[in-house]
Structure 1
Amino acid sequence: MTIVVLGLGQDFRRDDGIGHAIAREVAARAAPAIRVHAADGEPTRLLDAWDGAELAVLIDSVVCDCPRAGTVRRYDSTAVTLSSVRATSTHGLGLVAALELAALLDRLPRRWVLYTVEVADVGFGCGLSPAAARAIEPVVSAVLAEVSGG
């Protein structure tokens, strides 16, 4: 089974780096057969990264109107429709739009799981806020369980 983990974000946009931070931790702990990437969210690169995957686990930061930084949500393609995913990405087109594009082009992974982490600080600079940083370990554990079939 081909499994891909994609952490989206920008390390130089404070909490937007959460996806990359989680991807680094997953890469350090996951089986070597798991493909783990840090991505910037550009749609065509995402389609290429999950090409042929039977499972793609995606991690992204989201900005909400009234953010509760560190709040994690899980979406599974077997249980939700893309239109029900309410996530405002910090990236231009956004991950949901990339998934919609992949569906139109018949380039979706067989199954995808999306973890979003609410963030409040996406200003320029390095380092995660304490609230975002607290979300790393629970999401890493959840992703490792996803990719191990548990």
Structure 2
Amino acid sequence: MKKLVIGIGNSFRRDDGVGLAVAEHIAALDLPGVSVMSSDGEPAAIIDAWDGVPTTVVVDAAVGEHTTCGQIRRWTPDEAAVSAATSSHAFGLPQAYALGRALGRMPGRLIVFTVDIADASLGTGFSGPVTASVASAVDAVLTELADGGA
């Protein structure tokens, strides 16, 4: 496997399922050399999946005081982490990154997209801005996959 897409979220917590929805769209494309994984954010599973993979793209929901519902943010470990938003999970991607780095179990290239959300309450279905962002997030992931590591 040359490339991996990991969608993180919980489809029973409204907007929080956006990462899973993006991953589902990518999986449906059946792209050669690309594996797709859905995750609840459990760090060990994420580390096991991305360890040694040349390119990994992660999509997760983000919440924060200065977020704008539906906004897509991109970051890499070499850049400053998203300052206004954090993962919507109490334990997940930030811990997976820290632990994976400490253990030397990282992908060659890691790109993270977060989608700002407004509603992580119990239930299904996305808010309007998050629904509208899914296609753009899919396009952003496809661009990274086609980029080849540039």
Asked if Structure 1 and Structure 2 have the same fold, meaning a TM-score greater than 0.5 normalized by the shorter chain, the answer is yes
Aligned length: 147
User: Residue type matched to 1:80 in 2?
Assistant: E
Q: Of residues 143, 146, 149 in structure 2, which corresponds to 1:145?
A: 143
Q: Which amino acid aligns with 2:109?
A: R
Runs of 4+, deviation exceeding 6 Å = none
Look up the equivalent residue of 2:10 and give its one-letter code.
Q
What runs of 5+ residues in structure 2 fail to find an aligned partner? none
Distance 1:98 1:7 in 2: 14
On the 8 A contact 1:4/1:34 being kept in 2, the answer is yes
Partner of 1:12: 12
Structure 2 equivalent of residue 65 of structure 1: 65
8 A contact 2:4–2:53 mirrored in 1 = yes
Using the aligned pairs only, state the percent identity: 39
Give the secondary-structure state (helix, strand or coil) at the position aligned to 1:6. Answer: strand
CA distance in structure 2 between the partners assigned to 1:47 and 1:125 by the alignment: 29
Name 1:111's counterpart in structure 2: 109
The one-character-per-residue Cα deviations of 1:59-99 (angstroms, maximum 9, x if unpaired) are 0001111431001110123x415xx3434222121312210
Q: CA deviation at 1:32?
A: 3.3
Partners of 2:96 and 2:79 in 1: CA distance: 16
Contact 2:73 2:82 in 1 (8 A): no
SS in 2 for 1:93: coil
Cα deviation 1:98-123 (Å, max 9, x = unaligned): 10111000011011000000001000
Gaps of 5+ in 1: none
2:88 alignment counterpart: 90
CA RMSD of the aligned region, Å? 1.5
Q: 2:132 aligned to 131, 134, 145, which one?
A: 134
Question: Aligned equivalents of 1:42 and 1:130: distance in 2?
Answer: 28
Answer with 87-96 or 120-129: which moved more: 87-96
Q: What's the secondary structure of 2:111's corresponding residue?
A: strand
Distance across 1 between alignment mates of 2:46 and 2:39: 7
Q: Secondary structure at the match of 1:31?
A: coil
Structure 1 contact 70–134 (Cα < 8 Å) conserved:
yes
In structure 1, the residue corresponding to 2:114 is in which secondary structure? strand
CA displacement 1:120-149 (0-9 Å, x = unmatched): 100000111111011111110111111122
CA distance in 1, matches of 2:26, 2:144: 11
Give the equivalent residue in structure 2 for 1:124: 122
Q: In the alignment, which of 85, 98, 101 is matched to residue 99 of structure 2?
A: 101
CA–CA separation in structure 2 for the residues paired with 1:144 and 1:29: 10
Q: Which residue of 2 aligns with 1:80?
A: 79
